[in-house]
């Protein structure tokens, strides 16, 4: 049985996290926001737009 306190070196030919995404041109991949972020942004815009309408109606 292996000693759990000893480190084990695993050698693999698989590319690393950054290596598999790199283009041959050397450019970094573009990071996009997740879809639920845009849903939240849309909900906030709709809410604030409605509150603006309510505020204008309250003035008149």
pLDDT of residue 24: 62
58 — pLDDT class (breaks 50, 70, 90): very high
User: In this model, does residue 3 exceed pLDDT 60?
Assistant: yes
Q: Which tens digit of pLDDT belongs to each residue from 4-56?
A: 677 776 777 776 666 555 556 778 888 999 999 999 999 999 999 999 999 99
pLDDT of residue 2: 62
Instruction: Look at the alpha carbons of 45, 47, 51, 57 in this order and tell me if their dihedral is positive or negative.
Output: positive
């Amino acid at each position: 049985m292996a000693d759990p306190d000893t480190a084990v070196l695993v050698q693999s030919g698989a590319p690393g996290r950054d290596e598999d995404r790199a283009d041959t041109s050397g450019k970094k991949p573009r990071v996009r926001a997740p879809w639920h972020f845009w849903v939240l942004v849309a909900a906030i815009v709709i809410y604030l737009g409605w509150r603006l309408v309510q505020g204008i109606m309250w003035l008149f």
